[in-house]
Amino acid sequence: MVFSFILSPVAYGAKCCIRNLTFTLALPFSVAGAAYAEPVTIFALGDSLTAGYGLPDGEGLVPQLNLWLAEQGADVTVLNGGVSGDTSAGGLSRLAWSLTPEVDAMIVTLGGNDLLRGLQPSVTRANIEGILTEAQVRQLPVLLIGMEAPGNFGPAYKEAFDQLYPELAAQYGAQHIGSYFGLIDPDATDPGQISEFMQADGIHPNAAGVKRAVESLGPQILTLVDHLD
């Protein structure tokens, strides 16, 4: 399935293709706590998609995800580490002081603004690798949520960018989701099919879109927690 977008200099450059979305986490899960009895804190490192750009308090990704987890009876708290407009370099630069002692695991959703700036995939790869290396040193499990490049950068660019996420996830043992936007509707073949779940800018999900993303993401968080020692 292919979403074709042309990037323009707007608040967030994540108009991207949703193609060949694969979830590597489609395993049965149990309520968090079956394998990890203590309260769990997860740090969500990201950009405007994580921060909840354009949404009222309580309707962004992290608040809705925390509500979903509480409804499952999971003793899990997700901390909002989203900064609108942040690149992978920005995420890496603030990671060390963001990972406070209570953090047990991470969600990483970065790369859309790298696409906006036309950064080379090798630059994004190096930054994401730096984030995963820091997590590995601290023995923090990671759920890496990918982005996909639009076709207007050319096939070589797209292939290099799209592949950096699954390749790094495999290299560092991170759990991986192919595309954030695929969380909203993995079966969509045209951007118009998810327009009702997007804000007027066509870039950021509205509250209903975030709710759909959370319903897909939540079980993956429980799997992440179950892998804690």
What is the DSSP code (8-state) at residue 198? Answer: B
Q: Tell me what pLDDT residue 8 has.
A: 40
Query: What length does the chain have?
Result: 229
185: annotated active-site residue: no
Q: Which residue, chain included where needed, has tokens 């066509």?
A: 202
Q: Tell me what pLDDT residue 26 has.
A: 34
Catalytic residue, from 88, 179, 204, 226: name it.
204
Residue 43 parent element (H or E)? strand 40-46
* Predicted model pTM: 0.84
Residue 142 parent element (H or E)? strand 142-145
Tell me the residue ranges of DSSP E strands in 48-130: 76-82, 105-109
Q: Tell me what pLDDT residue 203 has.
A: 85
Q: Tell me what pLDDT residue 31 has.
A: 43
Cβ atoms within 10 Å of 2's Cβ, excluding its own: 11
Tell me the residue ranges of DSSP E strands in 63-141: 76-82, 105-109
Q: Tell me what pLDDT residue 194 has.
A: 87
DSSP-based three-state secondary structure for 186: coil
Q: Tell me what pLDDT residue 37 has.
A: 60
Q: Tell me what pLDDT residue 151 has.
A: 85
Residue 126 parent element (H or E)? helix 121-137
48: annotated active-site residue: yes
Q: Tell me what pLDDT residue 17 has.
A: 38
201: annotated active-site residue: yes
pLDDT tens for 24-47 read 333 333 444 444 568 999 999 999
Amino acid letter at 207? Answer: A
DSSP-based three-state secondary structure for 80: strand
Catalytic residue, from 30, 190, 195, 201: name it.
201
Catalytic residue, from 48, 88, 162, 185: name it.
48
Ranges of the chain whose pLDDT falls below 50: 1-35
Burial 37-58, CB ≥16 within 10 A → b, else e: eeebbbbbbbbbbbbbbbbeee
Domains contained in the chain, CATH given: 40-226 (3.40.50.1110)
Are 49 and 12 within 8 A, CB to CB? Answer: yes
